[in-house]
Amino acid sequence: MAEDALLAIVDEAVPAQPVADRVVAARGRPGPVSGAVTQTGGEQISVYHRLNARLSRLFIDDGFDELGKRAFWLLSCHQRILHQAVNFACATHPDPRAEAARPRMRGRAASARGLAAALSRG
C-alpha cells in the first residue's frame, strides 16, 4: 500500500520537474528574473513541500525504506534549490557572492524522472 502511495507522489513530482528546471534556469541567466517566474517558483516550492509532507506521513511509523529515502532526498533537494533561486531572484541588494553563484544555478535540480525509473524497476 505504501508503495502505491509513493508511486502516486512520484507521479505528481515528475510533471513538476520541468517547471522547476525552468525556474532555476531563469535564475541562472544574466539579468533580472521576471515576477511571473518568481511567482511560479514560489508555487513550485509549495508543490514540493506538500509532496514531501505526504511522503513523510507514509513513513511516520515505520521509517523510510531505501526508495522512500531517495524520494524524500530528491523532493527536499528540489524544494531547497527552488527556494534558493527565488531568494536570489527577490534580493533587493545584489550580493556579489549570489551573482557569482548565478551560472551554477542552471541544471542544479536532480531529476525526478530518475526516481520514477527506480520505482518502476523496484
Cα dist from 34 to 54, 59, 64, 67, 120, whole Å = 31, 38, 38, 36, 37
Question: In sequence order, which ranges of the chain are alpha helices (DSSP H)?
Answer: 2-28, 35-58, 66-90, 96-105, 112-121
Asked if pLDDT for residue 39 goes beyond 90, the answer is yes
- Residue labelled with grid coordinates 528546471: 21
Asked if pLDDT for residue 21 goes beyond 80, the answer is yes
Mean pLDDT over residues 92-102, rounded?
A: 73
- Residue labelled with grid coordinates 502516486: 8
pLDDT in tens, 2-20: 778 888 998 898 888 888 8
Closest CA to 17 of 78, 104, 86: 78
Task: Please report the pLDDT score of residue 119 as a whole number.
Answer: 56
pLDDT in tens, 72-93: 888 888 888 888 888 877 777 7
In this structure, what C-alpha cell is assigned to residue 56?
Answer: 513523510
- Residue labelled with grid coordinates 541567466: 29
Asked if pLDDT for residue 122 goes beyond 80, the answer is no
What is the pTM for the complete model shown? Answer: 0.78
C-alpha torsion angle, residues 32, 104, 50, 34 (rounded to 10): 10
